[in-house]
Amino acid sequence: MQSSAELPGVPNSFQHLWTPHRLVYIQNGQQPADHECPFCLAPSSEDQQALIVHRGHHGFVLLNLFPYNSGHLLVCPYRHISTYDLASAEEVAEIASMTQQAMRVLTSVSNCHGFNIGMNQGEVAGAGIAGHLHQHIVPRWKNDSNFFPIIAETKALPRLLGEVRDELAAAWNQVG
């Protein structure tokens, strides 16, 4: 592998991993039609089937079907809106409140040491479902990073999604 100093462009200290297979996703996207939006469809399903952990008045919390880590949650408004600036004051307040409660529950249940929290808004920003606003809450533990996803196309998820959903849902109103 070449060192980054030998690559074209501005030299930096990073080693670059080229992923040309991602170009198809970048160019074509994988966005569902609005009528197939999984975040619109989830609330009409049973909580266990949809991996819903908590339902609020203006939004809900569910496990990410393609998690970065065990316990990777998404907070979504019920309304099909694409960006945070379109959310009502009530939706914003509840998204914030559910995010705080999710952090407390994940800390209590999984003993995580930190979180990545964020929203990718718009397809160009990397939103997997760009048409429906959702916030990621990814629990993190010391020394939890590994290269499985990069070199082996494998994610190390030590628990089944259903087990995690059941445990988080049971703890939702207990932790405060």
Report the pLDDT value the prediction gives residue 161, as an integer from 0 to 100.
84
Note if the pTM is more than 0.85: no
Q: Please, what is the end-to-end C-alpha distance for the chain in angstroms?
A: 50
- Summarised one tens digit per residue, pLDDT across range 93-141 is 999 999 999 999 999 999 999 999 999 988 888 888 889 999 999 999 8
Q: Which residues are catalytic?
A: 134
Helix (H) or strand (E) holding 103: helix 89-110
Checking if the pLDDT of 2 tops 60, the result is no
The β-bridge partners of 73 are 63, 137
DSSP-based three-state secondary structure for 37: coil
Looking at domain 31-171, its CATH architecture is 2-Layer Sandwich (3.30)
Report the pLDDT value the prediction gives residue 3, as an integer from 0 to 100.
57
Rounded Cα–Cα distance for residues 141 and 165 (Å): 19
Rounded Cα–Cα distance for residues 47 and 85 (Å): 28
- Summarised one tens digit per residue, pLDDT across range 19-68 is 555 555 455 556 667 788 999 999 999 999 999 999 999 999 999 988 88
By the 10 Å C-beta count (0-12 exposed, 13-18 middle, 19+ buried), 36 is classed as: exposed
